[in-house]
């Protein structure tokens, strides 16, 4: 592990390239872009002190970076952590595991809001035309050009191994039809399906009930409740007799000590969720461009 210093505008990692490192900002800030170095790039985020970047490529098996990160001010200091030292890094700083997960969770929340806004603008464009979007249309058109670039590096790689393997602190059996978590309720945990299947519903038990997903063995759900305690966005129900592990933030240190593979599976899951959400957002930008005749 070593510190590196970058000045404003210097590239730290570049979209389409890969390297065996991930990074944490010690001081200063950085900008995240999708696209090339011309005016056609899309600004995704500004990262502040303590933020991580490059973790998605590392966690997903070394696939190329999905974005370019540049220093946003002079003397931005970052810690460069080699892939073969990441376990050592977290063994001496176990509290940083949860920090990394919370950081990715924050980015998921932010991108979710951006995605929802784009969906609303898509409906406006369909009903009222391009004039309804005002100055936002230019940004959507620029983002459209970056969809192909991101899709070229959006490879879905999953950590190997059964989720039931190794140490688990809380494992429960749910009979078919049992509600595991309910929409609107606050939660401080996430869930890992060791065996069986669950249905994910909105409006469960009402005349607006809608199943939005089925999840099976070796799937996670409810992770945002563990990361920020926000109300559950859906109700999850066992579709058959199902075995599920419950994981809280307080469990992560012990879990990392006794079953580190599980922790990497969780971070990998979060990383893939953020990457796929970003790709879905750019797809909506593409749809907006088509509706507006571009």
Domain ranges (residues) in the chain:
2-93, 98-159+272-291, 171-258
191 Cβ neighbours under 8 A, 6+ residues apart: 180, 181, 220, 221, 222, 236, 244, 245, 246, 247
Do the domains 171-258 and 2-93 match in fold?
yes
Please report the pLDDT score of residue 154 as a whole number.
Answer: 45
Please report the pLDDT score of residue 9 as a whole number.
Answer: 93
- The H or E element containing residue 31 is strand 30-34
CB 192 within 8 A of CB 259: no
Structure-block tokens of residue 16 = 């389409």
Q: What is the pTM of this model?
A: 0.74
CB 249 within 8 A of CB 188: yes
Please report the pLDDT score of residue 157 as a whole number.
Answer: 44
- The H or E element containing residue 120 is helix 95-128
The CATH superfamily of 171-258 is: Jelly Rolls (2.60.120.10)
Please report the pLDDT score of residue 58 as a whole number.
Answer: 59
CA–CA separation, 152 and 164 (whole Å)? 33
Q: Domain 2-93 is in which class? A: mainly beta
Q: What is the pLDDT along the chain (294 residues), one digit of tens a residue?
A: 889 999 999 999 988 787 778 889 999 999 998 776 566 677 888 999 988 888 766 555 556 777 889 999 999 999 998 877 777 777 777 777 888 888 888 888 888 999 999 999 999 999 999 999 988 888 788 777 666 555 554 444 445 578 999 999 899 999 999 999 999 999 899 999 999 999 999 999 999 999 999 999 999 999 999 998 889 999 999 999 999 999 999 999 899 889 988 988 898 888 888 888 888 888 899 899 999 988
Residue 169's alpha-carbon distances to 41, 244, 248, 249, in angstroms, are 45, 11, 10, 12
CA–CA separation, 198 and 234 (whole Å)? 12
CA–CA separation, 80 and 56 (whole Å)? 15
């Amino acid at each position: 592990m070593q510190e590196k210093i970058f000045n404003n505008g210097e590239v730290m990692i570049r979209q389409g390239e890969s390297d065996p490192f991930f990074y944490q900002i010690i001081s200063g800030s950085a900008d995240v872009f999708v696209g090339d170095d011309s005016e056609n790039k899309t600004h995704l985020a500004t990262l502040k002190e303590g933020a991580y970047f490059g973790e998605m490529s590392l966690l997903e098996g070394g696939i190329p970076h999905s974005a370019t990160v540049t220093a946003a001010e002079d003397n931005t200091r970052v810690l460069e952590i080699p892939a073969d030292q990441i376990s050592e890094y977290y063994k001496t700083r176990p509290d940083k595991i949860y920090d990394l997960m919370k950081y990715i969770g924050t980015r998921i929340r932010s991108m979710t809001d951006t995605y929802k806004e784009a969906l609303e603008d898509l409906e406006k464009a369909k009903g009222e035309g391009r004039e309804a979007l005002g100055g936002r249309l230019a940004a959507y058109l620029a983002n459209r050009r970056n969809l192909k670039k991101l899709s070229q590096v959006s490879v879905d790689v999953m950590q190997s191994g059964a989720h039931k393997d190794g140490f688990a602190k809380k494992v429960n059996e749910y009979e078919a039809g049992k509600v595991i978590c309910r929409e609107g309720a606050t939660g401080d945990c996430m869930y890992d399906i060791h065996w069986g299947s669950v249905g994910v519903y909105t409006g469960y038990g009402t005349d607006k009930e809608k199943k939005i997903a089925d999840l099976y063995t070796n799937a996670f759900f409810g992770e945002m409740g563990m990361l920020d305690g926000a109300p559950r966005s859906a109700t999850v129900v066992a579709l058959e007799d199902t075995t599920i592990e419950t994981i809280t933030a307080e469990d992560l240190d012990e879990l990392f000590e006794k079953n580190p593979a599980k922790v990497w599976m969780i971070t990998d899951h979060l990383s893939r969720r953020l990457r796929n959400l970003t790709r879905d957002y750019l797809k909506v930008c593409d749809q907006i461009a088509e509706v507006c005749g571009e």
